[in-house]
Amino acid sequence: MIVAMDGPAGCGKSTIARLLSERMGFLYINSGNIYRALTYAAIAKGLGLGDEAALLATASKALIEYDQDGSILLDGARLAAELRSAEVEAIVAQVSAVPEIRHIVNDIVRRLAEGKDVVVEGRDMTTVVFPQAELKFFIDASTEERARRRFAQGSSSMSYEEILENIRMRDEIDRNKKMGALKIAPDALYLDTSGLTIEAVYEKVYSEILHLREAHGE
């Protein structure tokens, strides 16, 4: 089974996807973290946004893997705090806007998901990458709510105000991308999580999975 999720940055889709993975045994794949890993790889090599050829070469050669617990590995090295560094936050949206980079990441996600029960979340997951997914969700929340959640995680070195501005910038870029623009798949279930607890959102998603399995006689 493929459960695909999309939504704006900081809406809570990563948290919900992780809970599904932990409680249901699905492999968790976060396409946003793959973009972050590739951005980190570019920064580590001293590459700038203007050096697109070098960015593409780095992305195409990178070995991305996922552990069952959702941890991401870049060329065998586990990444965690590096993915949320201020340096990565500053340019990951621009890196992910490069069409060729998007093709590379989408192919990586398809390879990782092949033949498995997976919960995948990120841009294009419900439209381009897995249009055939058994369940699709578009997770949303207000801009301020998303900034508060990201700040409360304590995984970023930025202030609340900086995170809020970064999210607004990300939203603007995401809405106007030539490829991978933020949009809701026609058959996706829309969930506004503003003011809801994580458990409340999880129960909504979990109930949809149960209904689908019951309909299929599982």
Res 215: pLDDT: 87
The pair of three-digit structure tokens given for residue 131, joined into one six-digit string:
């249009």
Best CA proximity match to 74, nearest among 105, 110, 120: 105
Q: Which residue has the tokens 């900086």?
A: 162
Q: Is 192 left (phi over 0), alpha (psi -120 to 50) or beta?
A: beta
Judge contact between 106 and 128, C-beta under 8 A: yes
Average pLDDT over residues 188-205: 93
The pair of three-digit structure tokens given for residue 90, joined into one six-digit string:
């500053």
CATH code given to domain 2-210: 3.40.50.300
Average pLDDT over residues 183-208: 93
Give the number of C-alpha atoms closer than 13 A to the C-alpha of residue 14, restricted to the C-beta side: 18
The pair of three-digit structure tokens given for residue 7, joined into one six-digit string:
């939504």
Instruction: Name residue 205's amino acid.
Output: V
Distance of alpha carbon 101 from its chain centroid, rounded?
15
- Structure pTM? 0.84
Burial of 163 (0-12, 13-18, 19+ CB in 10 A): buried
The pair of three-digit structure tokens given for residue 181, joined into one six-digit string:
């623009």
Judge contact between 141 and 161, C-beta under 8 A: no
Res 177: pLDDT: 72
pLDDT tens per residue, range 140-195: 999 999 999 888 887 778 899 999 998 898 888 777 777 767 889 999 999 999 98
Res 216: pLDDT: 80
Judge contact between 167 and 143, C-beta under 8 A: yes
Residue 42's alpha-carbon distances to 11, 48, 141, 214, in angstroms, are 26, 8, 31, 46
Average pLDDT over residues 94-107: 91
Q: What is the residue-averaged pLDDT of the chain? A: 90
In the chain, what percentage of residues exceed pLDDT 70? 99
Instruction: Give counts: helices (H), strands (E), the chain.
Output: 8, 8
